[in-house]
C-alpha cells in the first residue's frame, strides 16, 4: 500500500525531534526484539515522564508499538512503516534527471 503525503508528513513530524529520533535509532539497532522502556531511559539518561511523552508521540504516528512481557514494557519499531516511509521518500528518485 502506497503511503499518502499527509501520513508521511505526520510521521516525519513525530520523529523530527532529537529525542524521538534517538529512540527510533535505538529501536532500529535493537531489531525485532525491541528494548525495554527502562533500557531506553537509561541509554538516553532522561526522566521517565519525558520518555513517556516521546513514546506517546511515536506510538500515535504508528512508528513504534509496545508489548508487555511479564512486568516489562517493550518498545518495538514498526519496520514495515519505516520501509514504506523510505519508499515514499525515494520512489521518484532521479525521475527528472535528463
Residue ranges per domain, the chain?
5-87
Residue 48: is it exposed, middle or buried by C-beta count within 10 angstroms (0-12/13-18/19+)? exposed
The pTM of this model reads: 0.92
The beta strands (E) that lie in the chain are given as 35-36, 64-69, 72-77
**Tens of pLDDT along 9-24?**
999 999 999 999 999 9
Backbone angles phi, psi at 74, to 5 degrees: -105, 130
**Tens of pLDDT along 58-85?**
999 999 999 999 999 999 999 999 999 9
Indicate the class that CATH gives domain 5-87: mainly alpha
Percent of the chain with pLDDT over 70: 100
pLDDT of residue 97: 84
**Tens of pLDDT along 40-56?**
999 999 999 999 999 99
Amino acid at each position: 500500500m502506497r503511503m499518502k503525503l499527509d501520513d508521511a508528513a505526520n510521521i516525519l513530524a513525530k520523529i523530527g525531534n532529537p529525542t524521538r529520533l534517538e529512540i527510533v535509532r535505538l529501536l532500529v539497532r535493537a531489531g525485532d526484539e525491541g528494548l525495554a522502556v527502562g533500557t531506553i531511559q537509561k541509554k538516553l539518561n532522561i526522566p521517565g515522564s519525558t520518555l513517556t511523552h516521546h513514546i506517546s508521540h511515536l506510538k500515535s504516528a504508528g512508528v513504534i508499538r509496545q508489548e508487555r512481557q511479564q512486568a516489562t514494557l517493550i518498545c518495538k519499531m514498526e519496520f514495515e512503516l519505516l520501509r514504506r516511509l523510505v519508499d515514499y521518500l525515494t520512489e521518484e528518485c532521479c525521475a527528472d534527471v535528463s
